[in-house]
């Protein structure tokens, strides 16, 4: 491959006219070979006529702001036509990849003979990134008070422009609170007005003491949901679930996954979704359709959020104690010797992660449709890339001493807590279980709290070991 510095490009110049171009418009003597420089540039398509570059950069926040925005690909470039106004709503520019050339053309004309012109061309660099302002900037909120047809500016009353005396802060201030976000979308979209979908009246009316909506309609995955108070458990799957899986899981890989999952439920009657994902390589969308064929879902009780084999009732089987679910959450406070800022474990999601209009969410893999799932393996050849693995790590459902939880909230099954001291607490009433409690299951009352304390002590020990000591500089 040739060195970019040695590359040369040939250009042909034509006169720009409003009429159709033809071969006669070509300027004689126009062929030129130019050296391609290895300069990478950034283009900003500024939505205004620029007369002063310094004023233009000021509306973009300055060179430092533009550079900082360029270093973060998920940020949009902000433009404020009134940079001195803190209430000015910004116009956001989208970032695009490009492969354009910045060409400088100089045309020198002789004074005596204007028909004779000398044209010089030079490639200044390659434009790899372009910012385009495609949204609207008409959402503005001015700090103005309107009364009796007169407009009074409030900037001098609410903005500190100089050092003020104590009397300035004691005087009444006007209430001017602009919204944090003007609109979720800054580009026009077509909205098609349609009638509201009629809502079916639910038979079960929630009680007045219910603060959580438990009657949300279930998603149509044909799963059977069982609560702790239900008298019996289902013995087989719904017919709709079987028919749906036959349509989707017709490939050889799907049949192998079904056989493996069936063996997993024979060896262990209760599984969490993460545990299944860590032991079975199958697309998550297909797993949603396969699980309702082999198991039912527990909603409440010691086995909540777990999938139980059809016909198996853990409330009547003492051996189901080891499959109970433990909801563990990392404790953060000064009493626990560490704060939230000290945690190296990130939450699964947070309200702080919701992006403002100045940021762009990174594109993720789109959800697989039914047609995509059925044709996922139809065109597999020797040239296809290595199949994608959907399996999770063991840390997604197993806890061992010396490790940190994968997330700040984890759902562990008691048999997956691979710590001897924890297993001793679980087995302290082995052989004497009599009643299944809705909170602690077949374990002794208060076992859940003891297990959380043991795990918290282990997590605190690991965090203290990773946290640098005061007075010791780390490089």
- The tens digit of pLDDT for each residue in 414-455 reads 999 999 999 999 999 998 888 999 999 999 999 999 999 999
Examine the domain organization and report whether 303 and 432 are in the same domain. Answer: yes
- From CA 8, how far away is CA 33, in angstroms rounded? 6
pLDDT tens digit sequence for 294-325: 999 999 999 999 999 999 999 999 999 999 99
Residues 390-397, mean pLDDT to the nearest whole number = 89
Inter-residue contact 297 to 226 (CB < 8 Å): yes
Residue 235 sits in the same domain as residue 101? no
Residues 126 and 261 in one domain: no
Instruction: Read off the DSSP letter of residue 178.
Output: -
| 98 within some domain | yes
Residue 7 has pLDDT above 90, yes or no: no
Domain count of the fold of the chain: 2
Q: What is the CATH number of the domain that holds 67?
A: 3.30.200.160
Three-state DSSP class for 471?
Answer: coil
The answer to whether the CB of 400 falls within 8 A of the CB of 419 is yes
Binned at pLDDT 50, 70 and 90, residue 17 comes out as very low
Q: Is residue 148 part of a domain?
A: no
Which structural domain, as residue segments, surrounds residue 246? Answer: 224-350+387-475
Helix (H) or strand (E) holding 259: helix 252-267
Q: Is residue 417 part of a domain?
A: yes
Q: Could you tell me whether strands 295-298 and 409-413 are parallel, antiparallel, or unpaired per DSSP bridges?
A: unpaired
pLDDT given for residue 328 in this prediction: 93
The answer on 127 and 8 residing in a single domain is: yes
User: Distance between CA 415 and CA 319 in Å, rounded?
Assistant: 11
d(CA 83, CA 239): 64
Q: Which of 115, 132, 149 is the last residue of a domain?
A: 132
Position 65 in a domain = yes
Count of helix runs (H) and strand runs (E) in the chain: 11, 16
Domain stops at, among 75, 104, 132? 132
Best CA proximity match to 291, nearest among 244, 252, 325, 247? 244
CA 452 from centre of chain: 29
What local confidence, expressed as pLDDT, does residue 370 receive? 45
d(CA 127, CA 97): 9
Token representation of residue 217: 């309609």
Q: Quick one: DSSP state of residue 26?
A: B
Domain end position, chosen among 84, 117, 132: 132
How far is Cα of residue 5 from the mean position of the Cα atoms in its chain? 41
- Domain membership flag for residue 47: yes
Name the 3-class secondary structure at 37: coil
Whole-number pLDDT of residue 349: 59
pLDDT in tens, 187-217: 777 777 777 666 544 444 444 444 455 555 5
Q: Does the structure show a pLDDT above 70 at 77? A: yes
Read off the pLDDT of each residue in 446-466 and give the average, rounded to a whole number.
Answer: 90
pTM of the complete model: 0.53
């Amino acid at each position: 491959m040739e060195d970019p510095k040695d590359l040369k490009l040939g250009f042909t110049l034509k006169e720009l006219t409003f009429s159709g171009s033809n071969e006669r418009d070509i300027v004689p003597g126009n062929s030129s070979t130019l050296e391609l420089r290895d300069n990478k540039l950034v283009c900003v398509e500024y939505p205004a006529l620029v007369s002063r570059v310094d004023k233009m950069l000021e509306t973009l926040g300055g060179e430092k702001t533009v550079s900082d925005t360029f270093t973060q690909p998920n940020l949009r470039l902000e433009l404020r036509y009134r940079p001195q106004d803190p209430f000015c709503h910004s116009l956001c520019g989208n970032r695009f990849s490009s492969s354009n050339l910045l060409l400088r053309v100089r045309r020198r004309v002789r004074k005596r003979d204007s028909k004779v012109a000398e044209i010089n061309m030079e490639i200044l660099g390659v434009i790899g990134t372009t910012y385009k302002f495609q949204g609207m900037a008409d959402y503005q909120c001015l700090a103005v008070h309107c009364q009796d047809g007169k407009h009074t500016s409030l900037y001098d009353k609410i903005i500190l422009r100089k050092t003020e005396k104590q009397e300035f802060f004691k005087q009444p201030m006007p209430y001017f609170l602009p919204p944090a976000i003007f609109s979720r979308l800054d580009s026009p979209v077509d909205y098609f007005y349609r009638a509201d979908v009629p809502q079916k009246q639910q038979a079960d009316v929630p009680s007045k003491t219910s603060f959580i909506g438990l009657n949300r309609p279930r998603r149509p995955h044909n799963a059977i949901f069982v609560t702790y108070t239900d008298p019996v458990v289902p013995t087989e799957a719904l017919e709709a679930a079987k028919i749906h899986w036959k349509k989707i899981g017709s490939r050889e890989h799907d049949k192998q996954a079904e056989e493996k999952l069936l063996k997993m439920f024979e060896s262990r009657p209760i599984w969490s979704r993460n545990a299944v994902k860590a032991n079975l390589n199958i697309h998550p969308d297909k797993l949603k359709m396969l699980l309702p064929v082999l198991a039912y879902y527990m909603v409440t009780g010691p086995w909540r959020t777990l999938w139980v084999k059809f016909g198996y009732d853990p409330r009547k089987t003492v051996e189901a104690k080891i499959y109970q679910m433990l909801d563990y959450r990392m404790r953060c406070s000064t009493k626990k010797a560490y704060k939230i800022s000290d945690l190296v474990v990130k939450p699964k999601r947070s309200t702080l992660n919701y992006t403002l209009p100045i940021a762009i969410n990174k594109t993720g893999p789109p959800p697989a449709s039914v047609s995509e799932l059925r044709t996922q393996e139809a065109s597999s050849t020797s040239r296809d890339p290595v199949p994608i693995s959907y399996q999770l790590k063991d840390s997604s459902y197993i806890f061992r001493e010396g490790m940190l939880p994968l997330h700040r909230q984890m759902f562990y099954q008691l048999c997956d807590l691979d710590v001897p001291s924890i297993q001793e607490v679980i087995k302290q009433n082995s052989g004497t279980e009599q009643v299944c409690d809705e909170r602690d299951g077949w374990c002794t009352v208060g076992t859940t709290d003891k297990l959380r304390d043991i795990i918290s002590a282990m997590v605190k020990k690991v965090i203290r070991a990773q946290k640098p000591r005061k007075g010791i500089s780390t490089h």
